[in-house]
C-alpha cells in the first residue's frame, strides 16, 4: 500500500474501539458468540419493561424473541456500545434514539419554541404615533410584564384562565442590542450580553451588525410547541407581546396602534427559525425542514466556546444536525420508524469522523499553511477545483484506509451510508475550513462520494445514487442552482430533500467555512446571539455532551407534566 | 464508428477484473457445478418442477398493440411466457469477495437482457422474469463471480458485508443460511435466501483460498490487497469526471 501523504500517529477512535470490542481493533476475524439480547443491559431493561407494560395494559407488545425473524433475536453479533465523540461517555445505541433521549428532544424543542422579534418597530409606534416615552426604565418594566405574560398569564383581562408556572418555567424572553449603554441600563436578568458571552473579536462583529436596534429572543413553553407545532411559536409570542405592550404602556386594548404592534410581532419584525415548506411537505414555519443550513450553523455555539478549533465547532454541528435532520426530520417527520438513528449516530460517535477531520486539518496546515487553530480570513486557500480535488482525495483515501486497516471500525460503521457520510463530511469540512467557502466544501463532499463508490464498488442506499452522483454539478459549478449557496440551502433544497446522512453534515460544512475564517456568524447574527443564551435548557455550545447526558439519563428537560397527573 | 465500450479505467488487477467481468466477450470461468434444481431451491421462489407462475398470458396468445419498440426488441424467454418478476440478491464481503455491488449491477446490465439491478452497500439485487432469472442466477453462482464463504445469497437480513469474518473464514450471517462443513471443507446452504429452512441442503462448493480471492476480487483494499491509492490512473479519472461535471453541469465536454 502506498503511504498516506502525511503521518498522523494519533488515532482518536482507538480508545472507543478498544472499549467496544474485546479483540484487537485490527483483528480480521472474530468468534460470533450469538449471545442474543441478554448481552445488552438496555435490551434486558426493555424486556422487563415490556413484560410489565403488557400486564398493565393487557395488550401484547415488546416480544423480540418471538417476533424478530421468527425466533432469532437481535444480538447474533455483538450489540456494540458507542462513545459519544469527544465526551468519553459510552452509551447503548438505544439511548441515542430521540425517544429514549430527553436531551435530543429538548434540543429540537428549544429551536422550535424560539422566535426573534424586533423591538424598534414597536418603539417607533409608541413614540411617534402615540407620543409615549420609551426609556430603559419602561423597557425594563415591559420585560417584567412580558416575562409574566409569555408563559401564559393575564395582564389586562379579568377572569382569565392562566397556565401553571410550574409547567411553563422554561418560557422567557430576553433582549439584546449592540448598544452598550442601553445594555448597562437594562436589568441583567433580561439581557443576552454579547460582550460577556462571545470572544472579543466575535462580540465586536456581532455588536456592529446589530447596532442600536433591539431584539427580543423569545422562547415559548416547550409544552405548547409540543402540543401544537412550530407555526404556533410566532402566534403565541405575538399575542403575549401585544398584551404586554398594552399592559406596560397603558394602551387602549382596542386602539388602532395595537394592530401595528401585532403586525410587527407577527410579520414585519419576526425572524422565524425555519421557513414554511411547500404544501407537499405540509409543514408550517419553525419546523426542521425549513431551517437554512447557515441558520443551523448559527444556532450551534461551539465556535463561540471553541473559537480556536473550527474542526471541533463543525463536528458539534454535525452531531446536532444529524440528530435533528436525520433522526427527527427525515427519520420521523418524513419517514417514520426507528432505523435512521444509526445513520446519524455514526457521525457523532466513537471519534471516527473526528479523527478523519483532524487528519484533514493536519493536511491543510502542512500542505497549504492554513493556520486552522488561529481562524482568520487571510490564510484561506483559493477555492479552485485543483485544491478541492487535492484535499478531498487525500482525506477520503486516508479515511478509507483507516477503515481497511481497522476492521473493527468497519464493523462499527457497518453500513455503507454511514461510511459514506462520515468520509464525505471529513472531506467537506477540510475543504470548507481551508478555503472559507462553503461551496468548495460541498464540492469536496461530492468528489469523495465518487471516489468512495469507485474504490469499494459500493456507496450508501439507493438514495445515494441520485443525490451524490449529481452533486458535482450543483456545487462550485458555474451555476450552482442559480446561486443558492450552501448557507441559504436547507433540508428542502431539491437535491437534498430525500436523503438521510447528509443534511447535518452539509450544515457543518457551511458552518466550517465561517468558523475557519473566524467569522462571528454564518448567516444571521441575531440567531447566533439568541442561542448563546445560557438560560436555554439545552446547551447549544456542547450538543454532543448534552446528548451523552441524555443517554445516561442525567439531562433534565422542560415540559414537566407531573404537576397535573396522578403520582406514580 | 461502432461504439466500443471501455468499461473503466485503472492499471491494477482490481481494475482489470472489473473490466473482464463487465465485458460479455470475457467468458466467465466456471468454478463449481450447481444444478437447475439447486438454484431454484436457493432462491425459494417456486418448488423445483413446479410450473412458472405468470403475470400475464404468453405474448403469442395476447393481442399486442402495434408498437414500433416491440417490433425492435425481441422478448426474453421469460417475457414471452408471461413469467412473473422475481429476484436474487447477494451480499458481498468487503474482505475480497469477487463481485461487489456496483460491479454486479454493471456486469448484469452488460451481460443480461431484461434485468433491473439495484445497488446498495451491503447487498445487490437483480430482478427479472423468473425463467430468465434462473438462467442468470446459475451463472452468477457457478462462476468466478461467487465465493461460497465471502458471497452470500440473502433476500433479507443481509447484515455482514463489512463485518469481520468468523473464525472459519465465513462472512457473518445472522440467519446462518449457509454453514461450512469442516469435514469436507464445503459450504452448504441449509436455508433459502430469505431464511426458510430447506428440506435438502445445497452444496455450493469449497471456499476459495486467499490467493484466489485476491486475484479475482473487484474491491480495492489496503489490508493485504490493492490500495486504491496505488491505482493513480483510476483516481485521476474520477477526479476528471468530477471536475468536468462541476464545470459543465451534466455535459462534461472539454
From A418, which residue of chain B is nearest by alpha-carbon distance? B121
pLDDT digits (tens, 9 = 90+) for A152-168: 999 999 999 999 999 99
> Which chain A residues are Cβ-neighbours of B165 within 8 angstroms?
28-30
Band of pLDDT at residue B249, cut at 50, 70 and 90: confident
In contact, A347 and A505? CB cutoff 8 Å: yes
From B251, which residue of chain A is nearest by alpha-carbon distance? A473
> Which chain A residues are Cβ-neighbours of B150 within 8 angstroms?
none
In contact, A215 and A526? CB cutoff 8 Å: yes
The residue with cell 442525567 is: A554
Q: Which residues does B127 contact at the CB level (< 8 Å), separation at least 6?
A: B85, B86, B87, B115, B116, B117, B118, B133
Query: Which segment of A281-285, A371-375, B216-220 scores lowest on mean pLDDT?
Result: A281-285
Q: What is the largest CA-CA distance in chain B?
A: 61
Contact A405 B227 (CB under 8 A): no
Task: Name the β-bridge partners of B89.
Answer: B125
The SS3 call for residue A474 is helix
> Which chain A residues are Cβ-neighbours of B247 within 8 angstroms?
385, 477-478
Closest CA to B90 of B145, B37, B155: B155
Q: B250 CB near a chain A CB, below 8 Å?
A: yes
Band of pLDDT at residue A479, cut at 50, 70 and 90: low
Residue range B197-208: average pLDDT?
97
Closest CA to B242 of A199, A427, A469, A555: A469
In contact, B209 and A433? CB cutoff 8 Å: no
Residue range A227-251: average pLDDT?
96
* Mean per-residue pLDDT over chain A, rounded: 95
- Give the side-chain half-sphere CA count within 13 A for A388: 28
> Which chain B residues are Cβ-neighbours of A500 within 8 angstroms?
none
Band of pLDDT at residue B155, cut at 50, 70 and 90: very high
Other C-beta atoms closer than 10 Å to the C-beta of A483 total 7
pLDDT over 90 (residue B20): yes
From B245, which residue of chain A is nearest by alpha-carbon distance? A473
Q: B95 CB near a chain A CB, below 8 Å?
A: yes
Closest CA to A110 of A216, A189, A221: A221
pLDDT digits (tens, 9 = 90+) for A509-567: 999 999 999 999 999 999 999 999 999 999 999 999 999 999 999 999 998 899 999 99
Residue range A114-131: average pLDDT?
97
Active site positions of A, annotated: 157, 343, 463, 499
> Which chain B residues are Cβ-neighbours of A477 within 8 angstroms?
245-247, 249
Contact B219 A475 (CB under 8 A): no
Secondary structure in 3-state letters for A22-50: CCCCCCCEECCCCCHHHHCHHHHHHHHHH
The SS3 call for residue A9 is coil
* Pairwise CA distance, residues A512 & A468, whole Å: 20
The SS3 call for residue A270 is strand
Q: B11 CB near a chain A CB, below 8 Å?
A: no
A220 min Cα distance to partner chain B (Å):
43
Q: What percent of chain A has pLDDT over 90?
A: 89
Q: B220 CB near a chain A CB, below 8 Å?
A: yes
**CA separation, residue A160 to residues A10, A71, A152, A153, A531 (Å):** 63, 58, 10, 8, 33
pLDDT digits (tens, 9 = 90+) for B78-101: 999 999 999 999 999 999 999 999
pLDDT of residue A346: 97
> How do A89-92 and B197-203 pair as beta strands?
unpaired
Residue range A43-72: average pLDDT?
95
Contact B164 A476 (CB under 8 A): no
pLDDT of residue A305: 98
State the count of interchain CB pairs (< 8 A) between A and B. 154
pLDDT of residue A480: 59
From A457, which residue of chain B is nearest by alpha-carbon distance? B102
Helices (H) and strands (E) in chain A, counts: 25, 7
How far from the centroid of its chain's Cα atoms is residue A358's Cα? 21
ipTM: 0.97
pLDDT digits (tens, 9 = 90+) for A400-449: 999 999 999 999 999 999 999 999 999 999 999 999 999 999 999 999 99
Using a 10 angstrom Cβ sphere, with 0-12 exposed, 13-18 middle and 19 or more buried, the burial of residue A456 is buried
Residue range A194-215: average pLDDT?
98
Using a 10 angstrom Cβ sphere, with 0-12 exposed, 13-18 middle and 19 or more buried, the burial of residue A84 is buried
B87 min Cα distance to partner chain A (Å):
17
Q: Which residues does A455 contact at the CB level (< 8 Å), separation at least 6?
A: A397, A400, B219, B220, B228
> Which chain A residues are Cβ-neighbours of B235 within 8 angstroms?
393, 397, 451
From B105, which residue of chain A is nearest by alpha-carbon distance? A457
User: Which site among B21, B194, B239 would you substitute to test the A interface, given the most A Cβ atoms closer than 10 Å to its Cβ?
Assistant: B239
Closest CA to A296 of A278, A266, A316: A316
Using a 10 angstrom Cβ sphere, with 0-12 exposed, 13-18 middle and 19 or more buried, the burial of residue B77 is middle
Band of pLDDT at residue A477, cut at 50, 70 and 90: confident
Quick one: DSSP state of residue A54? H
Band of pLDDT at residue A335, cut at 50, 70 and 90: confident
Highest mean predicted confidence (pLDDT) among A66-70, A249-253, B62-66, B214-218: B214-218
Residue range A254-258: average pLDDT?
91
Contact B167 A465 (CB under 8 A): no
Amino acid at each position: 500500500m502506498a503511504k498516506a501523504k502525511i503521518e498522523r500517529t494519533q488515532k482518536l477512535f482507538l480508545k472507543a474501539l478498544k472499549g467496544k470490542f474485546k479483540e484487537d481493533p485490527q483483528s480480521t476475524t472474530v468468534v460470533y458468540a450469538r449471545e442474543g439480547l441478554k448481552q445488552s443491559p438496555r435490551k434486558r431493561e426493555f424486556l422487563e419493561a415490556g413484560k410489565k407494560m403488557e400486564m398493565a395494559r393487557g395488550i401484547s407488545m415488546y416480544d423480540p424473541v418471538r417476533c424478530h425473524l421468527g425466533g432469532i433475536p437481535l444480538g447474533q453479533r455483538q450489540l456494540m456500545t458507542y462513545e459519544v465523540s469527544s465526551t468519553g461517555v459510552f452509551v447503548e445505541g438505544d439511548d441515542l434514539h430521540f425517544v429514549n433521549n430527553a436531551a435530543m428532544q429538548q434540543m429540537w424543542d428549544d429551536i422550535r419554541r424560539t422566535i426573534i422579534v424586533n423591538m424598534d418597530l414597536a418603539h417607533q409606534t409608541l413614540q411617534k404615533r402615540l407620543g409615549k416615552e420609551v426609556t430603559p426604565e419602561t423597557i425594563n418594566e415591559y420585560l417584567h410584564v412580558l416575562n409574566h405574560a409569555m408563559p401564559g398569564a393575564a395582564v389586562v383581562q379579568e377572569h382569565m384562565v392562566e397556565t401553571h408556572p410550574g409547567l411553563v418555567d422554561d418560557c422567557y424572553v430576553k433582549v439584546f442590542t449592540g448598544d452598550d449603554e442601553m445594555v448597562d441600563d437594562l436589568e441583567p436578568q433580561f439581557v443576552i450580553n454579547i460582550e460577556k458571552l462571545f470572544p472579543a473579536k466575535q462580540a465586536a462583529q456581532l455588536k456592529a451588525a446589530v447596532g442600536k436596534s433591539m431584539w427580543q429572543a423569545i422562547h415559548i413553553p416547550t409544552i405548547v410547541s409540543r402540543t401544537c407545532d412550530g407555526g404556533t411559536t410566532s402566534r403565541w409570542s405575538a399575542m403575549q407581546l401585544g398584551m404586554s405592550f398594552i399592559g406596560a404602556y397603558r394602551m387602549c386594548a382596542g386602539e388602532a396602534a395595537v394592530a401595528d404592534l401585532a403586525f410587527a410581532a407577527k410579520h414585519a419584525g419576526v425572524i422565524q427559525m425555519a421557513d414554511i415548506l411547500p404544501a407537499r411537505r405540509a409543514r408550517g414555519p419553525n419546523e426542521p425542514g425549513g431551517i437554512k443550513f447557515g441558520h443551523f450553523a448559527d444556532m450551534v455555539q461551539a465556535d463561540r466556546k471553541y473559537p480556536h478549533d473550527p474542526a471541533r465547532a463543525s463536528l458539534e454541528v454535525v452531531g446536532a444536525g444529524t440528530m435533528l435532520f436525520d433522526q427527527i426530520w427525515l427519520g420521523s417527520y418524513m419517514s417514520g420508524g426507528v432505523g435512521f438513528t444509526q445513520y446519524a449516530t455514526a457521525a457523532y460517535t466513537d471519534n471516527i469522523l473526528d479523527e478523519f477531520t483532524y487528519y484533514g486539518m493536519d493536511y491543510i496546515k502542512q500542505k497549504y499553511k492554513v493556520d486552522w487553530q488561529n481562524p482568520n480570513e487571510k490564510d484561506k486557500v483559493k477555492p479552485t477545483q485543483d485544491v478541492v480535488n487535492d484535499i478531498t482525495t487525500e482525506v477520503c483515501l486516508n479515511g478509507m484506509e483507516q477503515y481497511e486497516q481497522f476492521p473493527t471500525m468497519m464493523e462499527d460503521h457497518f453500513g455503507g451510508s454511514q461510511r459514506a457520510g462520515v468520509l464525505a463530511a471529513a472531506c467537506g469540512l477540510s475543504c470548507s475550513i481551508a478555503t472559507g467557502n462553503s461551496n468548495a466544501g460541498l464540492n469536496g463532499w461530492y468528489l469523495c462520494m465518487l471516489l468512495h463508490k469507485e474504490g469499494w464498488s459500493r456507496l450508501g442506499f439507493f438514495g445515494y445514487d441520485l443525490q451524490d452522483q449529481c452533486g458535482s454539478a450543483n456545487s462550485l459549478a458555474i451555476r450552482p442552482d442559480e446561486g443558492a449557496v450552501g448557507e441559504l440551502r436547507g433540508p428542502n433544497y431539491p437535491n437534498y430533500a430525500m436523503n438521510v446522512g447528509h443534511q447535518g453534515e452539509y450544515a457543518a460544512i457551511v458552518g466550517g467555512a465561517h468558523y475557519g475564517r473566524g467569522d462571528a456568524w454564518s448567516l444571521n447574527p441575531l440567531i447566533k446571539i439568541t442561542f448563546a443564551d445560557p438560560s436555554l435548557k439545552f446547551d447549544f455550545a456542547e450538543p454532543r455532551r448534552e446528548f451523552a447526558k441524555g443517554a445516561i439519563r442525567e439531562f433534565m428537560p422542560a415540559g414537566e407534566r407531573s404537576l397535573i397527573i396522578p403520582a406514580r | 464508428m461502432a461504439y466500443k465500450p471501455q468499461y473503466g479505467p485503472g492499471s491494477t488487477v482490481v481494475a482489470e477484473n472489473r473490466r473482464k467481468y463487465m465485458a460479455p466477450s470475457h467468458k466467465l470461468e466456471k468454478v463449481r457445478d450447481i444444478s437447475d434444481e439447486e438454484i431454484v431451491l436457493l432462491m425459494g421462489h417456486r418448488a423445483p418442477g413446479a410450473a412458472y407462475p405468470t403475470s400475464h398470458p404468453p405474448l403469442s396468445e395476447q393481442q399486442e398493440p402495434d408498437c414500433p419498440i416491440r417490433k425492435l426488441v425481441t422478448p426474453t424467454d421469460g417475457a414471452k411466457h408471461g413469467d412473473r418478476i422475481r429476484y436474487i440478491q447477494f451480499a458481498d464481503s468487503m474482505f475480497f469477495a469477487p463481485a461487489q455491488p456496483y460491479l454486479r449491477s454493471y456486469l448484469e446490465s452488460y451481460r443480461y437482457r431484461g434485468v433491473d439491478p439495484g445497488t446498495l452497500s451491503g447487498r445487490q439485487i437483480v430482478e427479472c422474469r423468473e425463467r430468465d432469472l434462473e438462467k442468470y442466477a446459475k451463472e452468477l453462482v457457478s462462476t468466478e463471480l461467487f465465493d461460497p464463504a465471502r458471497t452470500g445469497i440473502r433476500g433479507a437480513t443481509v447484515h455482514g458485508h463489512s463485518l469481520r469474518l468468523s473464525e472459519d473464514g465465513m462472512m457473518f450471517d445472522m440467519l446462518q443460511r449457509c454453514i461450512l462443513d469442516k469435514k469436507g471443507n464445503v459450504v452448504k446452504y441449509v436455508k433459502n435466501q430469505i431464511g426458510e429452512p430447506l428440506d435438502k441442503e445445497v452444496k455450493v462448493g469449497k471456499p476459495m483460498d486467499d490467493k484466489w480471492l485476491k486475484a479475482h476480487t473487484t474491491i480495492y483494499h489496503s489490508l493485504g490487497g490493492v490500495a486504491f491509492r496505488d491505482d493513480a490512473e483510476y483516481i485521476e479519472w474520477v477526479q476528471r469526471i468530477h471536475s468536468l461535471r462541476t464545470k459543465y453541469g451534466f455535459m462534461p465536454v472539454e
